[in-house]
Structure 1
Amino acid sequence: MDYRDAGVNIEAGRAFVNRIESLVKDTYRPGVLGGLGGFGGYFEIPQGYNKPVLVSGTDGVGTKLKLAQQLNRHDTVGIDLVAMCANDVLTSGAEPLYFLDYLATGKLDSEQLAQVVSGVAIGCRDAGCALLGGETAEMPGFYPDGEYDIAGFCVGIVEKEQLLDGSQVKVGDVAIALPSSGVHSNGYSLVRKIIADGGYSWSDCPEIFQGQSLGEVFLTPTRLYIQPILELRRQDLEIHGMAHITGGGLPENLPRCLGEKQSVRIDKASWEIPPVFQWLAEAGTVPSEAMFDTFNMGVGFVVIVSPRDVEATLGSLNTQQQRAWVLGEVIDGEGDILGLG
């Protein structure tokens, strides 16, 4: 017997690497050293930093992958993967430099996984970071044929004195929200249960979605916030904190960027809950509190700024065609989010 008899095709793996090489190279930025094929990826720290701090983050896409695999559409989940990692790194004030991915599957399907990597490359280009390398593991007997899992790893850089760690946030600071593009990549176990228990099909087109199918709506990729936020960082604005609103929604994620004895009072009337969350709440009979504890509810990213810089921040984002609004205010408290009830 040989390795192929055990279910692993080494030649197919090599051919897959060759196939995605151009996708990877299209993401390269200054600082990349070498190319694919080594035991590690190399990146030179950019010049101009006095005390550079490297910020790292890792994440996956979760059970949203089940939907992609069920619908045999794999070109968006790679964007999700990059966004979940790069947006997290961004909250420290860091610029994403490079990204690595890990793909594991039962049987290597070159066409399927090339679609996944194409999404990763799109996400990396949008985030301005290089896809520096990765690993593709063929694991027969571990994953059923046609199924795969992906994980991502992002490294960014920030000047030490500009690192955001919660200590800069002050009572009276203002929270500015940037919209999500939908459910992003959290809460899909509940989404899938609502669809299954309600007897819905992913091809159904509820009127509220104006012609889009449930599959199209729920495969909408996670929004990347890197470029508009980095532009804010280049300006003379007092940005004191940032939060990426992922699993656990506003109640869990917004306090992560605050200092001790601080809370945020939210103005719930400041934005309209997007249709996808309205539909989920109704279709699954999900209480409002559970919705806010599970989903982003239309808020994908939050920036905490000094009161004097609110208008300038909103103006800068508007100039970049990035919608934003005043979400609330930092107050004395114990790390809770008020006003969502």
Structure 2
Amino acid sequence: MSKSFSESYKNAGVDITAGYKSVELMKEHIKKTMSFGDTSDLGGFGGLFGLDMTGLKEPVLVSGTDGVGTKLKLAFLMDKHDTVGIDCVAMCVNDILCVGAKPLFFLDYIACGKNYPEKIAQIVSGVAEGCVQSRSALIGGETAEMPGFYPEDEYDLAGFAVGVVDKSRVLDKTRIRPGDKVLALPSSGVHSNGFSLVRKVFDVENTDLSKTYPELDGKSLGETLLTPTKIYVKPMLALLDSVDVKSVAHITGGGFYENIPRSLPEGISVRINRSDVRVLPIFDLIAKEGEVPEHDMFNTYNMGVGMTVIVAPEEADKALSVLRKNGEDAYILGETIASDEGVVLCQ
């Protein structure tokens, strides 16, 4: 029987026994990720991972870290906490893919004003689901109860992922040439950036989030905005194994104008016809309701494109076929040109 209990600490606002209950409730969700290489027991001081070196001549570890941002405000308002964990995993593992790496394991960090074990377990259930989707082991994490720092009903969520790639297969954007094809992998929605503007446009704290709009095909505003970030691990790993991919960009904060140039070498830009972008209805609604200029929309949101991939023109059809066989309705978004403009969006 544990002797770990402090009445004084509880009176200060931290109930360590609630933390123990949270861990117990998490275990059933974390077990779903155990088959991906986890060799540690939950509750230790460090997470262990057995790395399979098969086929790796010069393994390079690749790391990524991110949070969910103010999208969490929607989760608070809707009292729905089982999807934001998917966002947290997605924001990390999708970045790792841009190097050409396979995600291996994930750790999360939850800071809250008050530890409600059932709520924490809901959050972790989403993290575990994201790990299952990305074939990553959830090998550990931290829950910090911080009364007086966060409101009792609020929390923050961040994470950290590690992947691996053989050094010879690290993506090299310097190989890009004018005339290469830029492929688009559709997003599932707003994903997990730009929510400060979303919240301002819809005044979410004072709006009925169950309200529906004709543009959203019967879905409520809240349901649409809380849609989890898509995880691209399965289709992208299949693509990387089948096609000579030159570069990948994860379209997050900063939209097209910030993220696509990060995947380009000096002297190369991407030309995109505006009419070829399959913009999701939620972005048209944001632009209309907030009177947001088109440039600002493309400089803030993914606009329906969660990831871009650059391949040689002769590889484009094969790449599209592989992506579609793996559940992605990918399409040609544009092509590379000799220019220093970054992204050229043609009307």
> Where on the TM-score scale, by shorter chain, does this alignment land: which range?
over 0.9
**Cα shift readout 1:181-202 (whole Å, capped 9, x = no counterpart):** 1100111000000111997421
Report the CA distance shift for 1:197/1:182 in structure 2 as closer, same or farther (over 3 A).
closer
2:235 touches 2:327 (CA, 8 Å); kept in 1? no
Aligned twin of 1:296: 302
| Equivalent position to 1:108, from 94, 101, 115 | 115
Aligned twin of 2:62: 55
Cα distance in 1 for partners of 2:191, 2:204 equals 22
Q: Give the superposition deviation at 1:168.
A: 2.8
The one-letter amino acid paired with 1:169 is I
Report the CA distance shift for 1:248/1:340 in structure 2 as closer, same or farther (over 3 A).
farther
Aligned twin of 2:293: 287
Partner-residue secondary structure (3-state), 2:299: helix
Alignment of 1:161-180 (within 5 A): 161-180=168-187
| Equivalent position to 1:183, from 173, 185, 190 | 190
Within the alignment, does 1:10 sit opposite 2:16 as a pair? yes
1:99 touches 1:131 (CA, 8 Å); kept in 2? yes
Report the CA distance shift for 1:74/1:241 in structure 2 as closer, same or farther (over 3 A).
same
Cα distance in 2 for partners of 1:271, 1:10 equals 50
> RMSD of the TM alignment (CA)?
1.5
1:264 touches 1:337 (CA, 8 Å); kept in 2? yes
1:260 touches 1:335 (CA, 8 Å); kept in 2? no
2:271 touches 2:336 (CA, 8 Å); kept in 1? yes
Query: What residue ranges of structure 1 are gaps of 5+ in the alignment?
Result: none
**Cα shift readout 1:292-340 (whole Å, capped 9, x = no counterpart):** 1111101000111111110001111122231011011111122510025
**Cα shift readout 1:74-101 (whole Å, capped 9, x = no counterpart):** 1110010000010001110000000000
Report the CA distance shift for 1:199/1:286 in structure 2 as closer, same or farther (over 3 A).
farther
**Cα shift readout 1:116-150 (whole Å, capped 9, x = no counterpart):** 11000000000010111000000111101110001
Q: Which deviates more, 319-328 or 180-189? A: 319-328
Cα distance in 1 for partners of 2:163, 2:22 equals 28
| Equivalent position to 1:68, from 59, 66, 75 | 75
Cα distance in 1 for partners of 2:121, 2:244 equals 42
Aligned twin of 2:256: 250
Q: Give the superposition deviation at 1:228.
A: 0.3
TM-score, reference length from structure 1: 0.96
Runs of 4+ more than 3 Å apart: 197-200
**Cα shift readout 1:180-229 (whole Å, capped 9, x = no counterpart):** 01100111000000111997421211121122111111000100101001
The one-letter amino acid paired with 2:182 is A
The one-letter amino acid paired with 2:68 is V
Cα distance in 1 for partners of 2:259, 2:26 equals 35
**Cα shift readout 1:255-301 (whole Å, capped 9, x = no counterpart):** 11111211111122223321101111110111101111111101000
**Cα shift readout 1:37-60 (whole Å, capped 9, x = no counterpart):** 211111122122110000000000
The one-letter amino acid paired with 2:274 is K
Aligned twin of 1:93: 100
Aligned twin of 2:41: 35
Partner-residue secondary structure (3-state), 1:27: helix
Identical pairs, percent: 50
The one-letter amino acid paired with 2:288 is E
Aligned twin of 2:85: 78
Cα distance in 2 for partners of 1:30, 1:320 equals 20
The one-letter amino acid paired with 2:89 is V
Partner-residue secondary structure (3-state), 1:64: helix
Report the CA distance shift for 1:181/1:197 in structure 2 as closer, same or farther (over 3 A).
closer
TM-score, reference length from structure 2: 0.95
Q: Give the superposition deviation at 1:30.
A: 4.4
2:133 touches 2:231 (CA, 8 Å); kept in 1? yes
Q: Give the superposition deviation at 1:254.
A: 0.6
Partner-residue secondary structure (3-state), 1:294: coil
1:198 touches 1:283 (CA, 8 Å); kept in 2? no
Aligned twin of 1:218: 225
Query: What residue ranges of structure 2 are gaps of 5+ in the alignment?
Result: 1-6
Cα distance in 2 for partners of 1:315, 1:109 equals 46
Aligned twin of 2:138: 131
Cα distance in 2 for partners of 1:167, 1:9 equals 54
Report the CA distance shift for 1:309/1:199 in structure 2 as closer, same or farther (over 3 A).
same
| Equivalent position to 2:265, from 256, 259, 268 | 259
| Equivalent position to 1:192, from 199, 202, 211 | 199
Q: Give the superposition deviation at 1:31.
A: 2.9
Aligned twin of 2:333: 327
